[in-house]
Amino acid sequence: MLYSILKMANGDNILFILALVIGYFLSLMISLSSHELAHGYVAFKLGDDTAKVRGRLSLNPFAHFDMYGLICFLFVGFGWAKPVPINPMKFRNYKKGIRLVSLAGIFVNFIFAIIFSGLFYFFGNKLLLSNNLFLIFLGFFFDSMFIINISLAIFNLLPIYPLDGFNFVNSFFKPDNKYSQFMYKYGNILLICFLFLSVFNLFDWFVSLFEKILFSFWGLF
């Protein structure tokens, strides 16, 4: 992502580059914080106050950032935050609670992606081509909010431990099943392999596909 920002800046003045960097980091803070807050809030509504007690029912990005996840966002284009602590034993309905909490963050990211893809579709190019620095910042912010949120949503849908997709799928199986045993043992290795494949634009292909779908939708209006 840093490469994309520098490429877009194309040697322009420092204020232009700073506007793009601030737009990206603001998008990152909002997207990651909202994702984790959604997990904690849904868990709280279902009877688990662990996230609230730990101070994670917050939009404060410093409560959620994970250093390695942030580095991946900067250099690969997607990443993660610190998982919100959840105690499923406090849920009024154990399996339903796990499923709803797992989907909460992904749902928020999809909603953001839909909204900001629309804002960028209708206003983005005009803003980015403006001579006004604030309008350029705004256009880049719209684009970043779409890209980051759709990336978070797609990434977390993967049924690989410890992602949300794994927790959702695993809730349909019996405890200590072969799938969960395999994922607990090899999930992190699979994620590393996924990161490696993403270098060859596999992940970008999925993001581009969703971009085309959403832009086609907004094109109906």
Set 36, 48, 164, 211: catalytic member = 36
To 5 degrees, how large is the angle CA 114–CA 118–CA 144? 75
Q: Would you call 36 a catalytic residue per the annotation?
A: yes
Which token pair is 200? 């060859």
Q: Evaluate whether 37 touches 54 at the Cβ level (below 8 Å).
A: no
E strand or H helix that includes residue 45: helix 14-45
d(CA 12, CA 9): 5
The DSSP annotation for 144-166 comes to HHHHHHHHHHHHHHS--TTSHHH
Residues noted as catalytic? 36
